[in-house]
Structure formats: structure tokens, C-alpha cells
Amino acid sequence: MTSRWIDIPADDGGRFQGYLAVPESGSGPGLLLLQEIFGVNAHLRAVADLYAEEGYVVLAPDLFWRLEPKVDLGYVETDVARARELLGRLDIDRAVADCGAALGALRRLPECRGKIGALGFCLGGRLAYLTAARHHVDAAVSYYGTGMGPLLGEAGAIRCPMVFHIPEKDRHLPPPVREAIADAFAGRDDVQLFVYPGAEHGFNVPARAAYDKPASLMAHSRSLAVFRAALGPKYDLPALWERHTELEFATRDARATMKTMVAEPYVNHIPTMTGGVGQDDLYRFYANHFIPKTPADTKLVPISRTVGVDRLVDEMLFCFTHDVEIDWMLPGIPPTGRYVEIPLVAIVRFRGDRLYNEHIYWDQASVLVQIGLLDPEGLPVAGVETAKKLVDEGLPSNTLMARWAESAPERKA
């Protein structure tokens, strides 16, 4: 992706600036990104870059420009005080008008093609709601919007799909306000409100103490779902994943495999914690420890596939002969020549049309049993039986439970 600052003409005269992030493709649907009280700072620019990777043309307007141009604050105490002082002087209605001007500028960009959504955090969460109410957008997402209670009379003006992300412990969005938001949109199945247990205001910002990575990841996927449905773009995730695995297991080309991934990808094989983070580390892993260290007769047998908005889950049988030291699965174990079949699950996340990460799960105990390194006697583990039962649910269950027979119903004479 590329980024730059652009000029935006205000509707009452004057000009202000906005940070523009453009996807690698050079064009896409538009996204108006609305700031926290900290300005168009490093966090907001990182969000813009992220959504550009997802395929959007993102414009983050400088909405404090009438007070001070290009405010860029962090999260230390003095910056928080400065941000609150700026918020206290902000004319919200003028800021919403500036959001409308920024929408117009975004629509006029040659890179912006198709529909436009609005996304905002904190102050920006409030502004995303008001922009959806007062200007035309095709979808809107509000993260922990402040000052929402008095504004809910405008809910009826919102005609597009919308998502509200609400931290459970956010004092700006206590239960009565959450309930008021839900009531304002009662009967609207295209408006969703998600509460994040244990999360606090600002949970999406890595630089803040309130950062909650699981909540942040879940909220991003939910946001992306509403934007993909309303704006596009659409990507064929199964085709992208199948091309990636073809390059890994058939073509066996590490460099080509890496080209299917984002600039900073990662892979984690959960049972053995093998893989890599970043281009250099992951290429080193693929080129030296994965592709040449995977048995030649490896076979993937699909069992099921679930496709979401930004990820794919494959359930499969992974079959191979242990005729090479498999660095990534059995590091340090010499080849035994034994044949192995195991259930394996791959959870693959995408950004736009590239793979971002892979979490790969399998039962390591079953592998060790099948190569003769672990004696299953007296242990709650199984060998190839786990693979057989995945395919044939009619095979016996509970064979490892010594007390299973005790619960059998008595037979009547």
C-alpha cells in the first residue's frame, strides 16, 4: 500500500488535510476513518494502513484543524490532558460537516471506486454515527463512541448497516447507554451491538494499557464483515489458500509461497511452536525447515472447510511416511520409516488477497504413538485410531475410558 497527505476543501471555506492510504491494487471502495481525541496519530495511521491492506482507499481527515492543524498525540498523561482540552473546544456539528467535506473529497479521488463506509474510534465512534445519520455512507462502524446518549434521536436517519463495539468496562458507555442504543435500533437486523467482556475504553490501541488483543482481533473481523458485505471487495479465499498450499507441497517453492503472503506474515505450528514471524524469518523457515523437510508422499485429505470474511478453517487428514527428519513437526527425531495419519486443523487469516497468518493444530501424542516414540499403554492417548474415527464416526467411542462400562444400563431379564 501507499500513503500520502491530501488537501480537503471545507464547505465554509478554507482547506484542511487528511491522511490517505491506498491499497496495492491502486483502487478500491472508500473508507472514511475518524480520529480519537488524539488526532490523526500513529495508531490511526496504522489503522488506515491496515484497511488499505484489506483493499480499501482510506481517508483519515484532520478534524482538529480549526483548533490546531495535524494534531498527533500519544497516550502519556500530558498528551491525554492536551487531547481533552482540544475536545472541550471542538464544535461537534462543524466536525460532522467536515466529515461530509472529507466524504466528498474521498468520492472525487480516482482511486476510490464504488461505495464508501465510515469507521471511527472514541470521538470518531461518535462521529461515525453522526456521519451515517447526516451524510450518505453505505456502512458504518463505531468503536466505543463517546457522548452517544443525547444523540440517539438521530438513529432513525441511519439507513445503512452499522456495528457498535462496546467494551464492558467503558465508563463512557455504561449499561443504560448500551440499552438506549439497542432500543434506538430495535427491529433493525442490519445494526449490531457487540459487548467485549472485561475490555476497557481504548481496547484497540496497542500503545495503551487498555489494549486487549483478543477483543481487538474479534472486533476487526466483525467490522470487516459489515464492510465486505456492504462495500466489497470480494476475495476468493479458498482459491488463495489452495494456491499457497500447492506452492508448499506440490511446487515446493519457498520464494513463490512467500509471494502469496502479506509483507509481515507469520506461521505458528501450535504443538511444536515452529514457524516464523516476518518475511525474513518465515522465508528462512519455509526454505530450510518446512518445504525440504516435509515427506515426499505427504497427502492432505479434506474433511471440512469453513470460510469467513477474513479467515478460512480447514479440517483435514495429514498423511505421510516418516522418511525424513521433519524439523517442523518432529524436530530432532531421526526417520522411523513409519506411516502416519493424523487429523489436522489449519486456521488461516487473510488481509485482502494475501495470507496474513496460519495457526496449525494437530495431536502430537498421536504422531508420537504412530512412530513408536510413545507407548500408549496406560495413557489417555491414541494412535491412528484418531484419524480413522474422524472419517468413520461409527467406530467405537470412549475406548480410553476404563469406567465407560460402569455406566451401561442394566439389561432386563
pLDDT score at 411: 73
Q: Looking at residues 323-343, what average pLDDT do you find?
A: 97
DSSP string covering 70-108? T-B--SSHHHHHHHHHHHHH--HHHHHHHHHHHHHHHHH
pLDDT score at 77: 95
**Is residue 175 helix, strand or coil?**
helix
Report the amino acid identity of residue 86: L
CA torsion angle 158 162 163 166 (round to 10): -10
Evaluate whether 205 touches 75 at the Cβ level (below 8 Å): yes
Catalytic residue among 62, 98, 138, 170: 170
The residues facing 390 across adjacent strands are none
What whole-number distance in Å separates Cα of residue 172 and Cα of residue 35?
Answer: 17
Reported as a single tens digit per residue, the pLDDT across 117-140 is: 999 999 999 999 999 999 989 999
Predicted TM-score of the model (pTM): 0.91
- Closest by Cα among 73, 75, 23 to 50: 23
CB atoms within 10 A of CB 62: 22
Active site residue 183: no
Reported as a single tens digit per residue, the pLDDT across 352-378 is: 999 999 999 999 999 999 999 999 999
Give the mean pLDDT of the chain.
96
Active site residue 170: yes
Reported as a single tens digit per residue, the pLDDT across 245-275 is: 999 999 999 999 999 999 999 999 999 999 9
Domains annotated on the chain, with CATH:
2-231 (3.40.50.1820), 237-391 (3.10.450.50)
pLDDT score at 62: 98
pLDDT score at 413: 59
CA angle 266, 223, 53 (to 5 degrees): 45
Reported as a single tens digit per residue, the pLDDT across 192-223 is: 999 999 999 999 999 999 999 999 999 999 99
**Is residue 12 helix, strand or coil?**
coil
Q: Return the percentage of the chain with pLDDT > 70, whole number.
A: 100
pLDDT score at 375: 97
Q: Looking at residues 144-166, what average pLDDT do you find?
A: 96
Distance, C-alpha 376 to centroid of its chain: 39
- Closest by Cα among 50, 54, 32, 5 to 106: 32
pLDDT score at 409: 86
- Closest by Cα among 293, 294, 385, 394 to 341: 385
- Closest by Cα among 318, 290, 311, 345 to 222: 311
Residue with grid cell 489449519, as numbered in its chain: 346
pLDDT score at 1: 86
Q: Return the percentage of the chain with pLDDT > 90, whole number.
A: 97
Q: Looking at residues 319-343, what average pLDDT do you find?
A: 98
